[in-house]
Amino acid sequence: MGGMTRDVRMRGFSERSDVGAVLRLIEERVRALPGESVLVTDSIGRILVGPQAAKVDVPGFDRSAMDGYALKAEETFGASAMAPLSFRVLGEARPGHPFAGTVESGGAVRIMTGAPLPKGADAVLMAESAESRGATLLAREAVAPGKHVGRRGEDLRAGQTLLPAGRRIRPQDAGLLASAGIAAVEVVRRPRVTILITGDELLPPGSVPEPPRIVDSNSLILKGLVLRDGGLPEPQPILEDDRNVVRKALAGALGDLVLISGGSSVGSEDHAPTLLAELGELLVHGVQMRPASPAGLGLIGGRPVFLIPGNPVSCLAAYEFFAGPAVRRLGGGSLAWPHRTVRLPLSRKISSAIGRVDYVRVRVISERGERVEPLAISGASILSSTTRADGAVIVPKQSEGYGAGEEVEVFLY
C-alpha cells in the first residue's frame, strides 16, 4: 500500500491488501469535517461538535400537575368528605394564562394541568376531591404542601449538560434542546460525496435495457447508502470509458469524498487506478476479499477517493467495508457498520479460504426454528441476490468458513 503507480491493466494484481490494513488506513487518513451552526429545528440526525447545556430552568416556574384548585395546604387540614371545608374561588389559571393575583387566606384558584401555580398557593387539590358551588369551593380532602405541584427546574437546571459531544441528535434530543431555550447548535458538516459512474455500456436509471447495453444501478445504490450514512450525494452524468473524460471528472470533483464506480479493475478500459495515481496518491488497489477484490483507495488534494467495482454486489460490498466508514467518519460518526445484527445458526455450511474476507448474502428462514441460509458467495453481478437476502455474514480472513448449525453474526439490511 501507499504511493502505487504501476499500470496493472491486462496484467492482473500482483498483490492485494488486507481488509484490516485498509480500514486502519481509513482511520488514520480520514478526519471529521469542521462544524457548522444549524437551527435546532434542522438538527435531527446531525452530530454535535461539543456538549450542549441548558440555558434556563425547565420548567421555568412552579406549575400544577393536576386539574383542580390551587390553595394554601395548611388551610385544608381536617377536611374530609363528612366535614368539607369552604373556600372562596378567586379566579382561574390555565396553561399560558396565569392567575394575576395572590391567593389569600380562605381563597382558592381553579387551575389546569401545566398552569403556573399562583402566588400564595403551595398545593393543588384534585378536582375529584372538591365540589364547586358557584363562587364557593368545598374541599373534601386535606393536601400536604407541594402536593400535585411540579417544581421549577425539576426536569432541567440552567447550565446542566444535556447532550455530550459526538451525539447523533435524535428527535427527542432535538425536543429537549428546544425546551432548554437552545435555538441553534454546532454540528459536524455533512460530507458532500461526488459519485462518478463509468461505462460505455451503461444507460441512465429509468431507461429500458437494450442489448448490448445495461441500465446503471450503482448510482442508485451508492446514493441511498450515502444518504443512510449522513452524507450529501452528488451524482454526476455517466462517464464514457475515455481516459481524458475520466481524468477531467476526477480532477474536477468537488466533493469531500469521491466514489468512482467502474473502471477500477485491471481491464484495458480501467483508467481510474492509474489516473488516481497521477492526480494524487493511490494507496490501495486490490483487496483480499470476495466480492469487491478490485476495490481501491487514494487521495486527491487530501480528499479520499474510493475505487468501487462496477459489479453491483461488489459495489455494495466495497461501499459497506470502506467508503461507508469514511463517509460516517467525515460526518463525525462511527467507523462501525450501522446495521442491526442478530446471531443465528446456519442452515448449511459456508466455505471460504484463509487470508480472504468473504461477504456472504444470506436469508433468514423460520422453518423448524429461525436460522440463516447462505444465498451466494460468488456472482458479483447478480444484484437480485441482495434483494432476496435479509442481510450478510462476514467470514474473517483467519477462517475457512462456518459449518452447518454454527451460530453466526448477521448484518441485517
Residues 184 and 195 in one domain: no
Cβ atoms of 90 and 109 closer than 8 Å: yes
Residues 173 and 295 in one domain: no
Residues 68 and 129 in one domain: yes
- Give the model's confidence band at 270: pLDDT under 50 very low, under 70 low, under 90 confident, else very high: confident
In a domain, 2, yes or no: no
In terms of residue numbers, what domain contains 145? 63-150
In a domain, 7, yes or no: no
Q: Report d(CA 44, CA 106) in Å as an integer.
A: 50
With 60 as the cut, is the pLDDT of residue 11 above it? no
Q: Report d(CA 107, CA 105) in Å as an integer.
A: 6
Cβ atoms of 167 and 173 closer than 8 Å: yes
pLDDT at position 263: 80
196-217 mean pLDDT = 94
338-350 mean pLDDT = 96
pLDDT (tens digit per residue) in 217-260: 999 999 999 999 999 999 999 999 999 999 999 999 999 999 99
Q: Report d(CA 106, CA 338) in Å as an integer.
A: 62
26-42 mean pLDDT = 97
pLDDT at position 379: 66
pLDDT (tens digit per residue) in 360-411: 999 999 876 799 999 966 666 788 888 899 999 999 999 999 999 999 999 9
Domains of the chain: total: 4
Residues 111 and 248 in one domain: no
pLDDT at position 7: 54
pLDDT (tens digit per residue) in 173-200: 999 999 999 999 999 999 999 999 999 9
pLDDT at position 377: 64
With 50 as the cut, is the pLDDT of residue 9 above it? no
In a domain, 109, yes or no: yes
Residues 232 and 357 in one domain: no
pLDDT at position 378: 66
In a domain, 6, yes or no: no
With 70 as the cut, is the pLDDT of residue 2 above it? no
Residues 45 and 124 in one domain: no
Residue ending a domain, among 330, 356, 381, is 330
CATH at 146: 2.170.190.11
Residues 326 and 363 in one domain: no
In a domain, 3, yes or no: no
pLDDT at position 134: 87
CATH at 176: 3.90.105.10
pLDDT at position 249: 97
In a domain, 378, yes or no: yes
Residues 214 and 358 in one domain: no
Residues 197 and 297 in one domain: yes
CATH at 258: 3.40.980.10
In a domain, 223, yes or no: yes
Residues 52 and 168 in one domain: yes
Residues 135 and 263 in one domain: no
Residues 167 and 180 in one domain: yes
- Give the model's confidence band at 95: pLDDT under 50 very low, under 70 low, under 90 confident, else very high: very high
pLDDT at position 367: 73
pLDDT at position 15: 80
* Stated pTM of the model: 0.84
84-108 mean pLDDT = 97
124-143 mean pLDDT = 95
- Give the model's confidence band at 10: pLDDT under 50 very low, under 70 low, under 90 confident, else very high: very low
Mean pLDDT, all residues of the chain? 93
In a domain, 407, yes or no: yes
23-31 mean pLDDT = 96
Give the C-alpha distances (Å, rounded to integers) separating 257 from 24, 33, 46, 305, 358: 17, 11, 18, 6, 26
CATH at 401: 2.40.340.10
Q: Grid coordinates in use for 309?
A: 467495482
